[in-house]
């Protein structure tokens, strides 16, 4: 894991780092948001109009379960008055008449959880979701940047508190331990190397087993983790299935449990933290330049360039803004990186200055490629290619990647398939600019069969009403877009049959290049052959000649 930059707390960080050198290993933090649904609703409804003095009614979140409205979550106030998840709404109303009822919205919860996870990416790039209301953070090697694990944990809790979410967090050697500690223990940090026996007194639910199994285990007298782990394993597995065994293995640290990070981990990233939130655009721009220099330096030392850059702005209210730009060639130029990103940042400027300010900026190279050296080249070519790459990037950045296209040769005789254009940014320069190989249809200048092709093509072809003097001959008159044309010259037919693998649906096309009496040239075709193919042949306009 790479965590470059950041303000490390000097003395304690050193100590922590030394400790880590001795026993390297995973450290996982689990963050549990016990009142997540109600906190989310409170945060959304009171945004901008907080009134802490007015008495708040207890809030419960209900969902329909088997036709009845059942309480799913309660806030602190309701909890204090004895309400708990699992009650039906009528029972809850009977206990506390003045409760405020909200409907559960799992989608909004999921979105909010993802937002929180993105906000917590300021601590570590590995943040995984544990729906419906938990998060895993892989903090191996990150904690020293925040003054140790305990300080980091407090920082996380304080930040979540600021965002309006009550939380509990635990840190342990593997996810199962952190989970149990956060949800069933008192939270806090479990020292390195202490295994599941530190949690021996916790109820069996702490092993993340489902409620039914836990109830059966409790009836059998296996109430704590210690009780369960001291039992012979085979009968347990036979009785309760492999799921219980898996959970036990995970708790013992014998089975690995990977965390899927929410966003892909960038191979290169640099960041800058601010003691005070940054609200001015000039500051953001200056910082972006500084980050670009650092990122370009890191890339250059490794001989790599960025193909895709991501800039993340972590706001102090928990929101995270992310912008990505692609580049047409691997880029490690400290001048060009801010130029590419600046238009996007400027688009955000109004919002940045309105909102709570930025307290962390992170610039990462998500995709990289080998940097092609451009030094010591005497010919002009590479310089031009570099300028061209810059032009392609600038145009793609504003108009979209698909809008800037390069023509590619296609080895096909179907006119529509030969119309091959690809985004210039994603088509590597070397491929498109190299000398064509033997199969390249555009390189075969010496072939006798140089057939006429129009310079403008209609896609799809437009229907035309045409009259031909003989069934298979060229048209003598035709109507296209409600205008009549008289043909004075016609070349053809050039017969292009459908690909044999496309079946009966596609018909043979006879192409004619025709000229009308006003000097316009058209590329028409007749789809189908008289008498030999089913259906009435139809005429189409496919292109225009110069």
Partner 1 sequence: MPDGVATTLKSSEQPPIGVGEAPPSPVWQALGGLDRDVHLIRADTFRDTAMGAGFVLSALAKLKADGLFVWVSQKYLSCEAGHLYGPGLKNYGLDPQNILFVEASALKDVFWSVEEALGSGSVAAVVGEVHTAKSLDLTPTRRLALRSRRAGVPVFLMAANSAPFASAARTHWLVAGMERLRGGHPHPWMRPPAWSLTLTKNKNGPCGTASVGFDVRNKAYFAPGAMDALPSRSTLKPLVSGGIGLASGMGGALEPVVVRLAAERRLALEQRRERQ
Using CB under 8 A, list all residues that contact partner 1.
Answer: 384-385, 387-388, 390-392, 394-395, 398-399, 403-410, 415, 418-421, 424, 432-433, 441-442, 448-459, 469, 474, 476, 480-481, 483, 486-491, 513-521, 543-546
Considering the complex, what minimum distance in angstroms separates the CB of residue 209 from partner 1? 57
Considering the complex, what minimum distance in angstroms separates the CB of residue 509 from partner 1? 16
What Rg do the C-alpha atoms of the chain give, in angstroms? 34
Distances in Å between the alpha carbon of 409 and those of 181, 249, 439, 442, 509?
62, 57, 9, 7, 22
CB-nearer residue toward partner 1: 179 or 512: 512
Rounded-to-integer distance, Cα 323 and Cα 352, Å: 14
Query: Other CB atoms closer than 10 Å to residue 221's CB: what's the count?
Result: 7
The alpha carbon of 474 is separated from its chain's Cα centroid by a whole number of angstroms, namely: 54
Beta bridge partners of 523: 513, 543
Rounded-to-integer distance, Cα 210 and Cα 231, Å: 19
CB-nearer residue toward partner 1: 216 or 391: 391
Considering the complex, what minimum distance in angstroms separates the CB of residue 286 from partner 1? 25
CB-nearer residue toward partner 1: 36 or 539: 539
Give every CB contact of residue 475 below 8 A, 6+ residues apart in sequence. Answer: 466, 467, 468, 487, 490, 512, 514, 524, 539
CB-nearer residue toward partner 1: 45 or 469: 469
Q: Structure tokens of 249?
A: 């293995």
Considering the complex, what minimum distance in angstroms separates the CB of residue 342 from partner 1? 15
Rounded-to-integer distance, Cα 217 and Cα 134, Å: 25
* 262 within 8 A of 137, measured Cβ to Cβ: no
CB-nearer residue toward partner 1: 100 or 453: 453
* 366 within 8 A of 324, measured Cβ to Cβ: yes
CB-nearer residue toward partner 1: 394 or 508: 394
Considering the complex, what minimum distance in angstroms separates the CB of residue 352 from partner 1? 24
* 125 within 8 A of 265, measured Cβ to Cβ: yes
Considering the complex, what minimum distance in angstroms separates the CB of residue 532 from partner 1? 22
CB-nearer residue toward partner 1: 216 or 451: 451
Q: Any idea of the CA torsion for 478, 484, 485, 486, to the nearest 10 degrees?
A: 90
Considering the complex, what minimum distance in angstroms separates the CB of residue 409 from partner 1? 7
Considering the complex, what minimum distance in angstroms separates the CB of residue 405 from partner 1? 4
Q: Any idea of the CA torsion for 442, 448, 454, 460, to the nearest 10 degrees?
A: -80
Considering the complex, what minimum distance in angstroms separates the CB of residue 48 from partner 1? 35
* 348 within 8 A of 313, measured Cβ to Cβ: yes
Considering the complex, what minimum distance in angstroms separates the CB of residue 455 from partner 1? 4
Q: Structure tokens of 117?
A: 């996870």
Distances in Å between the alpha carbon of 58 and those of 43, 78, 81?
15, 5, 8
Q: Structure tokens of 490?
A: 């016609």
CB-nearer residue toward partner 1: 18 or 417: 417
CB-nearer residue toward partner 1: 266 or 393: 393
Considering the complex, what minimum distance in angstroms separates the CB of residue 391 from partner 1? 4
User: By CB neighbour count within 10 A (0-12 exposed, 13-18 middle, 19+ buried), where does 211 fall?
Assistant: exposed
CB-nearer residue toward partner 1: 91 or 387: 387
Considering the complex, what minimum distance in angstroms separates the CB of residue 162 from partner 1? 42
Rounded-to-integer distance, Cα 30 and Cα 479, Å: 72
CB-nearer residue toward partner 1: 92 or 424: 424
CB-nearer residue toward partner 1: 140 or 414: 414
Query: Other CB atoms closer than 10 Å to residue 60's CB: what's the count?
Result: 29
Angle, vertex CA 369, rays to CA 364 and CA 375, nearest 5: 105
CB-nearer residue toward partner 1: 114 or 515: 515
Considering the complex, what minimum distance in angstroms separates the CB of residue 160 from partner 1? 43
Distances in Å between the alpha carbon of 174 and those of 17, 209, 260?
19, 17, 14
Strands 28-32 and 134-138 come out as antiparallel
Rounded-to-integer distance, Cα 369 and Cα 337, Å: 15
């Amino acid at each position: 894991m790479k965590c470059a930059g950041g303000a490390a707390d000097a003395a304690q960080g050193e100590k922590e780092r030394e400790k880590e050198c001795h026993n390297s290993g995973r450290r996982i933090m689990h963050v549990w948001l016990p009142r997540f649904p109600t906190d989310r609703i409170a945060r959304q409804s009171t945004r901008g109009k907080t009134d802490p003095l007015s008495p708040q009614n207890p809030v419960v979140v209900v969902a329909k379960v088997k036709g009845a409205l059942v309480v799913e979550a309660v806030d602190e106030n309701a909890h204090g008055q004895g309400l708990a998840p699992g009650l039906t709404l009528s029972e809850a109303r009977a206990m506390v008449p003045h409760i405020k009822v909200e409907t559960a919205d799992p989608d909004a919860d999921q979105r909010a959880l993802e937002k929180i996870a993105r906000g917590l990416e300021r601590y570590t790039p590995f943040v995984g979701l544990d729906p419906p209301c938990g998060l895993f953070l892989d903090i191996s090697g990150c904690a020293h940047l925040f003054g140790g694990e305990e300080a980091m944990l407090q920082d996380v809790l304080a930040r979540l508190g600021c965002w309006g979410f009550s939380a509990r967090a635990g840190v342990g050697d593997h996810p199962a331990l952190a989970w149990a500690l956060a949800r069933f223990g008192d939270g806090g940090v479990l020292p390195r190397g202490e295994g599941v026996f530190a949690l021996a007194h916790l109820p069996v639910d702490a092993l993340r087993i489902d409620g039914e199994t836990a109830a059966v285990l409790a009836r059998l007298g296996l109430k704590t983790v210690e009780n369960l782990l001291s039992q012979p394993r085979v009968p347990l597995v036979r009785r309760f299935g492999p799921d219980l065994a898996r959970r036990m293995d995970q708790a013992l640290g014998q089975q690995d449990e990977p965390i899927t990070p929410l966003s892909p981990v960038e191979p290169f990233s640099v960041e800058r933290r601010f003691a005070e939130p940054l609200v001015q655009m000039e500051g953001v721009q200056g910082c972006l330049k500084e980050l670009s220099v650092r990122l370009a330096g890191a890339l250059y030392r490794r001989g790599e360039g960025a193909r895709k850059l991501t800039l993340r702005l972590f706001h102090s209210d928990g929101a995270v803004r992310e912008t990505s730009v692609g580049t047409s060639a691997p880029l490690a130029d400290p001048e060009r990186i801010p130029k590419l990103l600046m238009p996007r940042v400027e688009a955000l400027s109004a919002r940045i200055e309105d909102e709570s300010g930025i307290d962390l900026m992170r610039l990462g190279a998500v995709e990289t490629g080998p940097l092609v050296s451009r030094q010591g080249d005497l010919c002009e070519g590479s310089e031009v290619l570099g300028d061209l790459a810059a032009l392609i990037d600038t145009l793609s950045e504003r108009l979209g990647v698909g809008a800037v296209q390069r023509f590619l040769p296609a080895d096909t005789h179907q006119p529509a398939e030969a119309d091959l254009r690809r985004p210039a940014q994603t088509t590597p320069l070397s491929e498109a600019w190299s000398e064509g190989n033997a199969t390249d249809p555009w390189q075969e200048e010496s072939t006798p069969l140089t057939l006429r092709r129009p310079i403008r093509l209609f896609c799809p072809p437009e229907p035309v009403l045409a009259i031909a003097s003989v069934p298979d001959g060229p048209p003598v008159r035709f109507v296209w877009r409600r205008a009549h044309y008289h043909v004075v010259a016609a070349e053809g037919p050039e017969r292009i049959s459908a690909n044999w693998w496309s079946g009966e649906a596609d018909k043979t096309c006879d192409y004619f290049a025709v000229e009308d009496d006003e000097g316009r040239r058209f590329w028409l075709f007749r789809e189908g052959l008289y008498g030999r193919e089913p259906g009435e042949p139809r005429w189409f306009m496919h292109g225009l000649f110069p």
